[in-house]
Each structure stands twice: as C-alpha cells, then as structure tokens.
Structure 1
Amino acid sequence: MDAFGFPVAALTAVLLLLLLSLVALGVRRYQLRRTLGTFDASLCHAPGKWELGIGRYADKHLEWMRLLSLSPRPRRRYLRSSLELKGWRQPTEQESTKVQPGTVVAMLSYEGQDLQLALSFEVYAGLSAWLEAGPVIGIGTWR
C-alpha cells in the first residue's frame, strides 16, 4: 500500500461502521415504535438530568429504554405495583429546553423515590389508566 492507502482504508472503515450504527439505531427505533404499548418519554431520575427515551408497558413493569442506544433491553424497570402517580404539571422554563415540546411532566413515586416523566398529555392519560387498572391491594393479589 502506498502512503495514502492505509489512511483512506481506515477512514472508509470508520465511516462504514458509523453508517451501520446509524442504520441499527433507526431499525431499533422503528421496531420499538411499532410495538404495542410504547411511547416517547423523557426521564428525570436525578434533579435536572433529563434523558430522552422510549417507555413500554409490560405486564407487571413499566420499562424505559434510552433513545440513543443499541441495546434491546430496558435500561430501567419499574414494578407496576410500586409506582404511585402523584399528578402532572407543565415543564418549567429550564426544563422546556431539555424535554420534547408539547409535553407535560408526570410526577411519580417509586419505592419512596421521586421520579418524573415528560410525555404528551394523551400518554399521561394512558399511564394513569394503566396504573389504575392494576389489581387492588388485598389478599391474593400482586399489588
């Protein structure tokens, strides 16, 4: 190989790897969005740290996956019976730059810890119904 052959081959390999990663991200996003029970949601688990992601309703869990990840597994799982919906509010001015436009912030409690989800109001209504539709706490139930 001449002096330019190796750098050009290396650059081509890096660009091809980048292109394949972008295609894989697109395929993952497409697969997740066409699955029933998925929705766009930003998660705030530490004050001021919002992450874009995708939520998914499972049988007994609310799953949350990062938007820019190749992993098919959820990053966080919240047991349905341990989630408590405290209400919703409009995003503050500081939050409005970190979350998607047109969202509301759902305030939740999970095992004593507060967490917030930024999602559309229609998705918030669905989340509220999903949580309320769970079995009532009592003898022989999982909640």
Structure 2
Amino acid sequence: MEALGVTFICLAVLFGLLVLVIGAFLLRRYHLNRALGTFDASIRLPPQGWRVGVCRYTDHHLEWLSLLSLSPLPKFRFLRSSLEVDGWRAATEAERVRIQPGAIIVHLTHEGEPFDLAMRYDVYAGLSSWIEAGPVIGIGTWR
C-alpha cells in the first residue's frame, strides 16, 4: 500500500507540473496577443523550415518570438531601416499545413539575407506600411 501511495504522489506532482507549464504557455500567448503591435507570423530562414511564432513592432526593430518557448526575449530581431519587402505570394499546398490558415508568404531581406514570413494579407499591408514609414532621422530619407 505504501508503494502505491508514493506512486500516486509522484504522478500527482508530475501532473501538477504539466498543468503549470501548460498554464505558463497559455498565459504567455494571452499576453502576446493582447500587446499592441503583435501579430501571428511563421518564419522561414533558409535553409531551415517553418517555425510558428509571433512578431511585434518596436520603434526600431521587428522582433520574432517563438510560440514554443517561454522566453520573453525575441529569437530574431530585424532592424527596421535594414528591412526590405521583396513581394508576396500565396502559400503552396505543402506550406499550408505548416503555417496559419489563410496566410500569405512575404519575402523580406534584412541586411542582404533573405527570409520569409507567413502572415495574413491585412497584416502584410500594415508591415509594409510600417517599414516604409520609418522615423525621420534628419533631412531627407530615414534610411
């Protein structure tokens, strides 16, 4: 009977830890969705595959945070003045199973390195406007 009690306590502790981890992921997701300037976006950096995450705008950077992490720090940061939009296309059948539903693929370049973001079209319109309407540093262009 004593071995059964120890087993039950171990299983209860493991279940409690699992519930806490899932709760932490859900709380992080909730806070990321409620923050201004965030949107769902999967990223693909060649030669890697798609990763699910969330992008957020800051004054000078576009930051990408992994959805499968509890870290508050972004996995990738792209300087706004070094980002260029190279166009967009519809997702292929193979890509649709790896990205969010209804997303388009946006081709971007950051300091000469190409990468792709998958996002909804209305989010793409906001991203391209944000990149083009950067802050004025001096007289003339901001780049």
Partner Cα separation in structure 2 for residue 134 and residue 19 of structure 1: 43
1:68 aligns with 68
Q: Is the contact between residue 52 and residue 66 of structure 2 (CA under 8 Å) also seen in structure 1? A: yes
How many angstroms does 1:136 deviate by? 6.4
Quick one: structure 1 residues 92 and 138, their matched pair in 2 at CA, closer, same or farther if it must change by over 3 Å?
farther
Stretches of 4+ moved more than 3 A in 1?
A: 135-142
CA-to-aligned-CA distance 1:55-108 (integer Å, 9 cap, x gap): 000010000001121111111111111111101000112111111110100000
Partner Cα separation in structure 1 for residue 10 and residue 61 of structure 2: 44
How many angstroms does 1:114 deviate by? 0.8
2:109 aligns with 109
Q: Compute the TM-score of the two structures, normalised by the length of structure 2.
A: 0.92
- Aligned: 1:95 with 2:100: no
Partner Cα separation in structure 2 for residue 91 and residue 48 of structure 1: 17
Q: Compute the TM-score of the two structures, normalised by the length of structure 1.
A: 0.92
Q: Which segments of 5 or more consecutive residues in structure 2 lack a partner in the other structure?
A: none
Q: Is the contact between residue 55 and residue 63 of structure 1 (CA under 8 Å) also seen in structure 2? A: yes
Q: Which segments of 5 or more consecutive residues in structure 1 lack a partner in the other structure?
A: none
Code of the aligned partner of 2:116: Q
Percent identity, please. Answer: 54
